[in-house]
């Protein structure tokens, strides 16, 4: 049993008893990276010197918070002072930030130790981690398969035991889908729950930072450490941060759970449907009330999402022009040529595709027909969730329609690739929280159960996920790397 097979609470107890040191945990992390990183390729940058130095300082200081001394991996679109942040793009290949994202300051205050920066789809655009400029991260359960995306490095590093937990970002399912593919726990918090200051923007009205862990309780601890009001982020919500671990009783008796018929219909694999039905039976045995519900506008979510997110991306990525920071072309004739060549050479194909789609949707004559209509559809999707949550505590369904697919299998088919997010995208459009928890296997590959809650009611999600986890052992399985 490796150190990272223990829960956060167990490791914290060992640290307090001085049976373990923070340095031991950091060394365990780098030892494991040395053993498996060549196969998994989850990390883009390691921060060994600083990590060891911080561990020694924490050991000298003595016991701290529950996160103190714990090794964490950070997705490479979260800004880290003095540690390269590339967004897995050529255009930021040498970007060395001079400030920290708010979540990094919070983690530092809690005593967590950054092990390194994790691979992702370039600028978080993708569902497979194949869009990184640098390398393709592989799924620890099957090295020929994708880990999911865009937070594929974040999920794979936790599944492979390289770090205890990680941070990812979720714009349309980018935490939950890789968590499902890699058999770990991933939470997309309510929009506004976690500060976006220092998260390199893809689509500002959809992006959220969230935790990826091996079990539900660790996830609740990590979320508690990173959320709260931030004056640096105008979309940060002024709501109380509860103790997310307080409701982890294992009891869901009387909870009303809605299962959307749209989430169990056409396009969802039989193995996935069967594992979700088995999961619902677990909840029923525990005393939860399960009923079928409808989210009728879900079928429009994919189209609305790609119009809105691409429109926001085209505006957000306009700042990468080769003038202030990042990559700059060496053979420009004039200023306009500098812009064109820098962006042509610096961005990958998927990023260019979305910038072009977004610029088109926002252009004169098309704005009303596409962007404005997509915003109206978004409102209808949010209303669908509001209507269901008037009667139900939670909505439950699959996280992804299938288990992880093979690397290279659909990279040249953008529409099929986009459809992989069909079950996660409505959650981002509505701004509600959702979590993926392991719920089964198909041909040895993990499957995820998605639990969706009301705005700012992450507690109810954790309560149900913990009860399910206690009644099953899917989270205890490890890939044979």
Q: How far apart are CA 385 and CA 431, in angstroms?
A: 10
Q: What is the mean pLDDT of residues 361-366?
A: 92
Query: How many distinct structural domains can be found in the chain?
Result: 1
Our answer to whether residue 150 is catalytic in this structure is yes
Q: Catalytic residue among 174, 236, 275, 309, which? A: 174
Per-residue model confidence (pLDDT) at position 147: 98
Which tens digit of pLDDT belongs to each residue from 186-224? 999 999 999 999 999 999 999 999 999 999 999 999 999
Mean of pLDDT over the chain: 96
Q: Catalytic residue among 68, 127, 128, 150, which? A: 150
> Does position 269 have pLDDT exceeding 70, yes or no?
yes
Q: Are 262 and 296 in contact (CB under 8 A)?
A: yes
Q: Range of 146's domain?
A: 3-250+452-476
Which tens digit of pLDDT belongs to each residue from 119-128? 999 999 999 9
Domain of 187, CATH number, reads: 3.90.1300.10
Which pLDDT band, with edges at 50, 70 and 90, does 420 fall under?
A: confident
Examine residue 76 and state whether it is found in any structural domain, yes or no: yes
Q: How far apart are CA 183 and CA 221, in angstroms?
A: 19
Q: How far apart are CA 70 and CA 58, in angstroms?
A: 10
What pTM was computed for the model? 0.96
Peptide bond into 127 cis (omega under 30): no
> Does position 339 have pLDDT exceeding 70, yes or no?
yes
Per-residue model confidence (pLDDT) at position 141: 98
Examine residue 240 and state whether it is found in any structural domain, yes or no: yes
Examine residue 339 and state whether it is found in any structural domain, yes or no: no
270 burial level (CB within 10 Å; 0-12, 13-18, 19+): exposed
Question: Which residues on neighbouring strands pair with residue 289, listed in sequence order?
Answer: 256
Q: Are 143 and 407 in contact (CB under 8 A)?
A: no
> Does position 32 have pLDDT exceeding 90, yes or no?
yes
> Does position 253 have pLDDT exceeding 90, yes or no?
yes
Q: Catalytic residue among 75, 106, 188, 217, which? A: 75
Per-residue model confidence (pLDDT) at position 392: 98
**Phi, psi angles (nearest 5°) of residue 186:** -130, 130
Per-residue model confidence (pLDDT) at position 1: 66
Per-residue model confidence (pLDDT) at position 325: 85
Examine residue 75 and state whether it is found in any structural domain, yes or no: yes
Local structure of 313: helix, strand or coil: helix
Q: What is the mean pLDDT of residues 389-410?
A: 96
Which tens digit of pLDDT belongs to each residue from 82-105? 999 999 999 999 999 999 999 999
Examine residue 423 and state whether it is found in any structural domain, yes or no: no
Q: How far apart are CA 350 and CA 352, in angstroms?
A: 5
Which pLDDT band, with edges at 50, 70 and 90, does 413 fall under?
A: confident
- How far is CA 404 from each of CA 148, 150, 162, 325, rounded to the nearest angstrom? 7, 13, 20, 36
Examine residue 53 and state whether it is found in any structural domain, yes or no: yes
**418/318: higher pLDDT:** 318
Our answer to whether residue 174 is catalytic in this structure is yes
Which tens digit of pLDDT belongs to each residue from 270-321? 999 999 999 999 999 999 999 999 999 999 999 999 999 999 999 999 999 9
Per-residue model confidence (pLDDT) at position 410: 85
Q: How far apart are CA 37 and CA 30, in angstroms?
A: 10
């Amino acid at each position: 049993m490796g150190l990272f097979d223990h829960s956060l609470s167990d490791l914290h107890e060992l640290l307090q008893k001085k049976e373990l040191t923070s340095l031991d945990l950091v060394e365990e992390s780098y030892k494991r990276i040395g053993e498996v990183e060549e196969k998994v390729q989850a990390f883009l940058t390691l921060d060994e010197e600083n990590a060891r130095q911080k561990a020694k300082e924490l050991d000298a200081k003595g016991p701290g918070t529950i996160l103190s001394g714990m090794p964490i991996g950070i997705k490479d679109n979260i800004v880290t002072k003095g540690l390269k942040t590339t967004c897995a793009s050529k255009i930021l290949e040498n970007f060395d930030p001079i400030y920290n994202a708010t979540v990094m300051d919070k983690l530092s205050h809690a005593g967590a130790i950054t092990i390194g920066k994790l691979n992702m789809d370039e600028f978080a655009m993708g569902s497979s981690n194949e869009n990184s400029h640098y390398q393709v991260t592989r799924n620890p359960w099957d090295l020929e398969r994708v880990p999911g995306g865009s937070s594929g490095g974040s999920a794979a590093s936790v599944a492979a035991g390289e770090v205890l937990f990680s941070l990812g970002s979720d714009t349309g399912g980018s935490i939950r889908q890789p968590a499902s593919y890699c058999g770990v726990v991933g939470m997309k918090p309510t929009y506004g729950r976690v500060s976006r200051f220092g998260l390199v923007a893809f689509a500002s009205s959809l992006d959220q930072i969230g935790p990826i862990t091996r079990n539900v309780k660790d996830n609740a601890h990590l979320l508690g450490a990173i959320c709260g009001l931030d004056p640096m982020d105008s979309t940060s919500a002024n709501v109380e941060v509860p103790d997310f671990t307080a409701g982890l009783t294992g009891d869901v008796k009387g909870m009303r759970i809605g299962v959307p018929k749209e989430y169990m219909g056409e396009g969802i694999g039989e193995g996935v449907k069967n594992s979700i039905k088995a999961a619902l039976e677990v909840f029923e045995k525990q005393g939860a009330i399960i009923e079928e519900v409808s989210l009728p506008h879900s079928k429009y979510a994919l189209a609305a999402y790609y119009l809105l997110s691409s429109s926001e991306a085209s505006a957000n990525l306009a700042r990468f022009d080769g003038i202030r920071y990042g990559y700059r072309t060496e053979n420009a004739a004039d200023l306009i040529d500098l812009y064109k060549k820098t962006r042509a050479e610096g961005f990958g194909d998927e990023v260019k595709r979305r910038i072009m789609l977004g610029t088109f949707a926002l252009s004169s004559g098309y704005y009303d027909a596409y962007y404005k209509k997509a915003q109206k559809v978004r409102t209808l999707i949010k209303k669908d969730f509001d209507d269901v949550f008037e009667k139900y505590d939670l909505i439950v369904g699959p996280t992804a329609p299938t288990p992880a697919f093979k690397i290279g299998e659909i990279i040249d088919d953008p529409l099929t690739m986009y459809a992989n997010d069909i079950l996660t995208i409505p959650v981002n459009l509505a701004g509600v929280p959702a979590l993926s928890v392991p719920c089964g296997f198909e041909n040895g590959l993990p499957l995820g159960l998605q639990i969706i809650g009301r705005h700012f009611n992450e507690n109810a999600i954790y309560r149900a996920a913990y009860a399910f986890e206690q009644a099953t052992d899917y989270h205890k399985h490890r890939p044979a790397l």
